[in-house]
A = this chain, B = another copy of it.
């Protein structure tokens, strides 16, 4: 299978490089927008010889990445055939792993979810057990949608810890015992001999929300508030991972009020130690509440309990006071608040807005929107799928797919 040769995450670094015009891939980039085009139009735009165009179009048709869409208006003689991108040509396995749950989906190349399953599973069970369960579910879902595994363009997977994106290996993840430096792509490739793309869970949430809702927004921050607090950063339209894949670590920035709450990281006054779900629940317990989990906290706030509402509003202010610095540094136009604790609703958002608008400069906040996630818990899945489609539909990825068919 020629596609095996491309099962190297390294190539994913080069999405933004201009394609060399000799590939079927660059022809595909012209068709990817969905507009039907004729062979003559493709020749005119690319400057490639008609014979070259015909050979490339034949490759794309054989791979089904492109399908005939009908005929253009004729200027006399037989009307020329038109072609366009066919998102159903391939499928994608998208996986979102949390600390205690897993979500697996099969999507098409436009990130439409075809089948989906969620189950409880502790990440602390280690990579072999967890990835084994994920693989079994994924194979079952692919069967369920009635597609052969050879239709698979790739697997995208988000992990709840820092990931070295080039190799797909977790790096010193604090809540993932047994996962440090584990070869996730290598392990999954035993079942799925396709490109495997691995990233941090908050990064894929940012990517998913961006692709699904804010595609025209160039600068966005997604904040996940759950048992931890983290952020995914889109700058200039691109997900930013930083030098070691550790970008977006909002949870261990010091809250600028000089507080000294000890944090699990060894420092004091970290945002996570003050405003995460467990931190807020802990403070409420000190006041006599019986609240253990994030979902109990959400329920309590939604029931309108005054003490819980106040605690969540204060958590919002603390998150906002740290986000204000991020707004000054990154000047985003949208901040999306997601994660299970975000389900408490407007009280949290109000606290966040209060601090951000009082602490950031007017130029950076005049057009800033601070909003709740609109992907209903699916941001991770959508982002994992987008990781794969961005890779598979790049010029390089398309050449690999057409080579595999040829």
* Chain copies in the assembled complex: 2
| Interface locus among A76-84, A96-104, A111-119, A250-258 | A250-258
Name the contact of A48 in the complex, choosing from B48, B218, B257, B363 (C-beta under 8 A): B48
Closest partner residue, chain B, to A363 (CB atom):
B246
- The number of residues on chain A lying at the interface, defined by a beta carbon within 8 Å of a beta carbon of chain B, is 68
Given contacts A231-B329, A364-B244, contact A26 B21 (CB under 8 A): yes
**Interface pair A330/B240, CB less than 8 Å apart:** yes
Name the contact of A246 in the complex, choosing from B18, B46, B218, B361 (C-beta under 8 A): B361
Given contacts A52-B47, A253-B324, A254-B256, contact A331 B362 (CB under 8 A): no
**A136 proximal to B (CB < 8 A):** no
Hey, which chain B residues are within 8 Å of A238, CB to CB? 236, 238
**Interface pair A243/B332, CB less than 8 Å apart:** yes
**Interface pair A321/B254, CB less than 8 Å apart:** yes
Hey, which chain B residues are within 8 Å of A325, CB to CB? 253-254, 322, 325-326
**Interface pair B48/A20, CB less than 8 Å apart:** no
Per the bound structure, the CA–CA distance linking A188 and B218 in Å amounts to 29
**A22 proximal to B (CB < 8 A):** yes
Hey, which chain B residues are within 8 Å of A20, CB to CB? 45-46
Per the bound structure, the CA–CA distance linking A45 and B329 in Å amounts to 42
With both chains docked as a complex, state the minimum distance between the C-beta of A119 and any C-beta of chain B, in angstroms: 30
Per the bound structure, the CA–CA distance linking A14 and B77 in Å amounts to 39
Q: In chain A between 337 and 386, which residues have their CB closer than 8 angstroms to a CB of chain B?
A: 358-364, 366-368
Per the bound structure, the CA–CA distance linking A322 and B258 in Å amounts to 13
Nearest 4 pairs of A and B residues by beta carbon = A242-B331, A258-B258, A21-B21, A22-B47
